[in-house]
Amino acid sequence: MVHGDKPLVYLDNAATTQRPRAVIDAQVKYITSTHSNIHRSGHALATEATAAFEATRERVRAFINAASTDEIIFTKGTTESINLVASAWGERNLSDGGTVLVSEAEHHAVIVPLQASCVRLQALSLKPKALSLKLGVLGVSEDGAIDIAEVREKLTPDVKLLAITHVSNVLGTINNVAEICAIARERGIVTLIDGAQAVAHCPVDVQSIGCDFYAFSAHKLYGPTGVGVLYGRRELLDAMPPYQGGGSMISSVDFSGTTYNDIPYRFEAGTPNIEGVVGFGAALEWFTQLDAVAFHQHEQELLHAATDGLTSIDGLRIIGTAPDKVGIVTFVVDGIHANDVSMLCDEQGVALRSGHHCTMPLHKRFGLNASVRASFAAYTSLEDVDALVTAVQRSVKMLR
């Protein structure tokens, strides 16, 4: 219940999902019976904790079909995963200039680290004006799709990295990342895929996609916050310097110099969020036991019901109408601010997100400052969608 007596209808799953009991139980069990630091001590508790941590790494590997657990790096989340690539890969491979290509639909967590890396390299260059290093942009169509013809056109020889979202957190559009990565690979361009919104909705097979890097977070996949994954192809990870220095990422240390550990440990400095990783393992076990076909059908039913119900409201416009979408519906209402709609819906017990959703360039492309977003999960029901439509109808009526 929220606001005293209102049943909660939680439709902010693109921001974070709620955790199943199995995840909570796994974390409590770890904290109360297994807690110890990992990859250090040899006593029984430390051995158990390390085994539990590494078991999740294997679950992640299997979940995205990576070739090896060596290609699975644990981070704090998608944002840190992308920062790791921007720093450890980018600042070595972009030091002689080139273009980093992103799309208009990218989350700030993609744009900002890559943009900052370009600025930093420009500043560090001995001849900054001579270093041609820029951020290029792929457009998004009116329905929220990326045009493959434009991808072919803009993947020019100067492009060093293509960073693109698998599923837009605003539009819900599922991009054909396998085709896009194939084009990039033919031209020798490295690819970074933001999979934060995809992993809870689409099958992800990094070998089939053919990407070089793939990043996502546990908390958008029914797991804990503070845990993320970076998948990287072994050849690239092997050639990358550490992102941070500290414990666990070394092989030997002397005042004359340090030898770094093998992958993936080279990129996991310090004590990680162990109970979070253990909880994420339970989340993956829970999620992979769902009937994937039934879940997809259910999500599409929710999406169609929400789209039909919301578009019946006078003056309401949905942003993102591409045919291939996940359960995300983002909208605006003529003459009414998104925050006002969201606030009144919240008072009725319906939790939505309003604002720019960390995608200011995308909102600018559609001529918007803000929008309202409803996003669905495995536990969302058709009754929840009915409550959404009713709440928006009431809110619009009050505001008019």
Q: How far apart are CA 169 and CA 147, in angstroms?
A: 18
Is 153 strand, coil or helix?
helix
pLDDT at site 272? 93
Kindly tell me if the per-residue pLDDT of 54 is higher than 90.
yes
Let me know: does 276 contact 224? Beta carbons within 8 Å.
yes
Residue pointed to by tokens 């009937």: 291
pTM, rounded to two decimals: 0.96
pLDDT in tens, 282-331: 999 999 999 999 999 999 999 999 999 999 999 999 999 999 999 999 99
Contact between 224 and 27 (Cβ < 8 Å): yes
> Which of the listed ranges 32-41, 125-134, 174-183 does the model predict with the highest average pLDDT?
174-183
Domains (range + CATH), the chain: 22-288 (3.40.640.10), 292-399 (3.90.1150.10)
Four-point Cα dihedral 292, 298, 304, 305, nearest 10: -160
pLDDT of 127 above 80: no
| Catalytic residue chosen out of the listed positions 118, 181, 202, 358 | 358
Q: Quick check: is 358 catalytic?
A: yes
Sign of the alpha-carbon dihedral angle for 357, 363, 366, 368: positive
Q: Are residues 377 and 200 in contact, defined by beta-carbon separation less than 8 angstroms? A: yes
pLDDT band at residue 121 using 50, 70 and 90 as cut-offs = confident
Q: Are 172 and 329 in contact (CB under 8 A)?
A: yes
Pair 194, 163: CB distance under 8 Å: yes
How confident is the model over 223-237, as a mean pLDDT?
Answer: 98
- What would the pLDDT profile of 317-364 be if each residue is shown by its tens digit? 999 999 999 999 999 999 999 999 999 999 999 999 999 999 999 999
